[in-house]
Amino acid sequence: MTDDMVKSLSDLKEEEVLSIVKDRLDAGGDPMKVLDDCRTAMGIVGERYEKEEYFIPHLVYSGEILKEILEMVKPKLAEGEGLERSGKVIIGTVAGDIHDIGKNIVTFMLDANGFDVRDIGVDVPPEQFVKEIKEFEPEVVGLSGFLTISFDSMKETIEAINKAGLRDKVKIMIGGGTLDDSLVKYTGADAFRRFAGGAVALAKEWIGGK
C-alpha cells in the first residue's frame, strides 16, 4: 500500500492521484494493487461521510475520480488474458441501489477472463433479472449491492428466480461493499465473494473454465 495514493484519493485531489496512478502504471506497477488502494481510500471516504466531514457531493466526486482511475487500470488488467469465451454470466446491481463502480470492475474482470457477460445495470428489479435470465440463459448470475437495504432486494430477486422455476439452472453469487458471508444464507444465494478476483475464480470453478 502506498500512502500517497490513498491519501490523495481520500482527500479527493483528482489531478494529484491521477498522476500518481499514471506514474505507478508506467513504472510497471501491479494494477490490482492500484485497485486495492482505491478500496482503502473509498473506505476512508465512507468513514468521513459517516462522520459528516464529507457529504453527497464528495461521494459523487469520489465515484467520478474512481471511474477515471478504472479507465487507466483496465488496459493493464486485460494484458495477457486469454479471450476464449467460456460461459455466460448476467450481473446487475439490485433494486434501490445505484452503486456501479464495484460491479463494473467485476464485469470487466469476467470479460477480460473470457466470460460472455451481460451487465444489466443498476437499480434492477427482480422481474428484470428473471426476464434477462430467460433470454440470455447464463450459467451464473451476479448480484451487486452496497447498501444494507440491498440485502432484501437480493433476497427478493432470488425468490423471483425461484418462483420462475429457474433456480436450478443458475448459480448465484453476491458481492458489494458492505456484504459478508452471513448474507449467503439470508438471501438464498450460492456464494459470496469480496472482490472481483474471487468472482472470476468462482465463475471458473462453477462453469469449469480454464
Residues in contact with ligand B12 by CB under 6 A are: 38-39, 42-43, 45-46, 49-50, 56, 59-60, 62-63, 66, 96-103, 105-106, 142-144, 146-148, 173-178, 193, 195-196, 199
CB of 61 to ligand B12, least distance (A): 8
CA 90 to each of CA 46, 140, 200: distance values in angstroms, whole numbers, following the listed order: 28, 7, 13
- What's the first-to-final CA gap in the chain, in angstroms? 31
CB of 84 to ligand B12, least distance (A): 22
CB of 42 to ligand B12, least distance (A): 4
**Which of residues 104 and 114 has its CB atom nearest to ligand B12 in the complex?**
104
**Which of residues 59 and 166 has its CB atom nearest to ligand B12 in the complex?**
59
Question: How is the beta sheet containing 171-175 ordered, strand by strand?
Answer: 116-119, 88-93, 140-144, 171-175, 191-192
CB of 39 to ligand B12, least distance (A): 4
**Which of residues 97 and 139 has its CB atom nearest to ligand B12 in the complex?**
97
**Which of residues 12 and 130 has its CB atom nearest to ligand B12 in the complex?**
12
**Which of residues 20 and 157 has its CB atom nearest to ligand B12 in the complex?**
157
CB of 35 to ligand B12, least distance (A): 6
